[in-house]
């Protein structure tokens, strides 16, 4: 019995010695490997208005074989950019109809299959606050958000219930939690549904800041605000855009900005990118999908089918509680080819020999018109 105990003791001694040796080896290996790798950042892409005019609806039906609506081919040209991002946001300007009751301008009801096309392209979430959000009242909002939910695309800016309206939309982007808030300047004169003042978020400086702070309190590392604003067909941001951008980007809590990125839509044409108070503002991304566009003079204007995708690379804070910083800012020029019914990445098209350099360069000049190049904005692919 004593001999047995001695054997056990010897065995335990050997195990402990081996464990100590393993720990020493592990320590040596860790020392050789150096400090642990820093936390990784993430990429966010965002694009402009999805505005299905009647011609767009007809094209989707053609692409669906005449018996269904398929929006995937329209967006296939930008899928490589969208799907590779950690987080991709779109702007769903219109509401959805049902059972074939679909209309274009001036009051839109789009096929719910738009949502399937967005999901298949790689979009994770969409802003849904626009001047067309109430085109079909509360039912239009319900159908739209139901369709987005069904394909796993998150949304912000309109709501089916008061509880939903007061819930922060937080999306995962790599290691970060990103809050997406969305607001519109107006609803084309359509009143908010009776008893539902929360159905669509209207643009108000104090409310946006309060919501951004609430989002941070809900655990958001990054707060992104989508704004449906500006003057249609005007290349330059208007005074309301400039003033609100200044006010929102200046807002801070404990020295940290309350808002980390502003994404603009509505003007139908690309507008400038600008760094304001250290925060990137995209005044207008333009229309990603739209039919023939006619300007305020009633003349077809090709700018209404031009847009950009913004791509921002965020790095984690250098210290606990610090800001996630944009370390790379890019814009990718696009064109919606109304004849082919396809979104075109203009830089890729030029590489393939298409004669679209003039369009690409016009978009570039507008995007850089407020000096964004000096702050590091570059044109991407």
| Count of other CB atoms within 10 angstroms of residue 325 | 14
* Residue 93 confidence (pLDDT) above 90: yes
- Secondary element (H or E) of residue 240: helix 239-250
Q: Is 98 helix (H, G, I), strand (E, B) or coil?
A: coil
pLDDT over threshold 80, residue 269: yes
Mean pLDDT over 170-194 rounds to 97
Residue 2, pLDDT above cutoff 50: no
Angle formed by the axes of helices 113-121 and 137-150, to 10°?
A: 40
Tens of pLDDT, residue by residue over 184-224, are: 999 999 999 999 999 999 999 999 999 999 999 999 999 99
Residue 29 has pLDDT above 70, yes or no: no
Does 53 have pLDDT greater than 60? Answer: yes
In order, the DSSP letters of 145-213 are HHHHHHTT-EEESB-SSHHHHTS-EEEEETTEEEEEEEEES--TTPPPPTT-TTSBPBP-HHHHHHHHH
Mean pLDDT, the chain, integer: 92
Smallest CA-to-CA distance from 230 within 174, 285, 189 is with 285
Q: What is the pLDDT of residues 13-23, one digit of tens each?
A: 333 334 444 34
Angle at which helix 54-63 crosses helix 113-121, to 10 degrees, equals 70
pLDDT reported for residue 34: 56
- Mark residue 148 as left, alpha or beta (left: phi above 0; alpha: psi -120 to 50; beta: remaining): alpha
Whether omega for the bond prior to residue 106 falls within 30 degrees of 0, making it cis, is yes
Q: Is the pTM value of this prediction over 0.85?
A: yes
* pLDDT tens sequence across 321-351: 899 999 999 999 999 999 999 999 999 999 9
Does 311 score more than 50 pLDDT? yes
Q: What tens digit of pLDDT does each residue of 276-301 get?
A: 999 999 999 999 999 999 999 999 99
The pLDDT, as a whole number, for residue 39 is 73
Q: According to the model, what pLDDT value does residue 186 have?
A: 97
Using CA atoms of 351, 327, 169, 243 in order, give the dihedral in degrees to the nearest 10.
-100
Going by DSSP bridges, is the β-strand pair 222-228/176-184 parallel, antiparallel, or unpaired? parallel
């Amino acid at each position: 019995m004593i001999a047995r105990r001695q054997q056990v003791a010897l065995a335990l001694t050997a195990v402990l010695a081996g464990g100590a040796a393993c720990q020493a080896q592990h320590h040596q290996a860790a020392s050789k490997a150096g400090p642990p790798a820093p936390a990784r950042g993430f990429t966010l892409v965002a694009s402009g208005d999805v505005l299905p005019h009647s011609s767009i609806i007809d094209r989707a039906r053609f692409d669906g074989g005449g018996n269904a609506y398929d929006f995937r081919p329209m967006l296939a040209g930008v899928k490589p950019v969208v799907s590779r991002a950690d987080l991709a946001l779109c702007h769903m300007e219109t509401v959805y109809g049902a059972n074939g009751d679909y209309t274009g301008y001036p009051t839109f009801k789009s096929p719910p299959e738009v949502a399937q096309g967005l999901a298949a392209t790689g979009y994770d979430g969409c802003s849904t606050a626009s001047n067309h959000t109430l085109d079909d009242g509360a039912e239009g909002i319900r159908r739209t958000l139901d369709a987005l939910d069904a394909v796993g695309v998150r949304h912000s800016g309109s709501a089916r219930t008061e509880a939903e309206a007061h819930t922060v939309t937080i999306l995962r982007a790599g290691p970060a939690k990103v809050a997406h808030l969305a607001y519109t300047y107006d609803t084309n004169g359509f009143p908010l549904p009776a008893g539902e003042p929360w159905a669509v978020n209207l643009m108000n400086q104090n409310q946006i800041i309060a919501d951004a702070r609430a989002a941070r309190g809900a655990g958001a590392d990054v707060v992104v605000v989508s704004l449906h604003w500006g003057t249609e067909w005007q290349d330059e941001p208007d005074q309301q855009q400039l003033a609100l951008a200044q006010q929102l980007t200046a807002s801070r809590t404990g020295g940290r900005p309350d808002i980390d990125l502003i994404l603009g839509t509505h003007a139908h044409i690309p507008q400038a990118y600008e760094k304001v108070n250290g925060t990137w503002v995209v005044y207008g991304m333009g229309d990603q999908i739209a039919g023939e566009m006619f300007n305020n003079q009633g003349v077809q204007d090709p700018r209404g089918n031009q847009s950009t995708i913004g791509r921002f690379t965020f790095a984690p804070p250098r210290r606990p509680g610090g800001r996630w910083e944009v370390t790379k800012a890019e814009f990718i020029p696009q064109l919606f080819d109304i004849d082919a019914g396809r979104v075109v990445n203009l830089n890729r098209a030029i590489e393939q020999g298409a004669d679209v350099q003039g369009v690409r360069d016009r978009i570039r000049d507008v995007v850089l018109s407020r000096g964004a190049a000096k702050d590091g904005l570059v044109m991407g692919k």
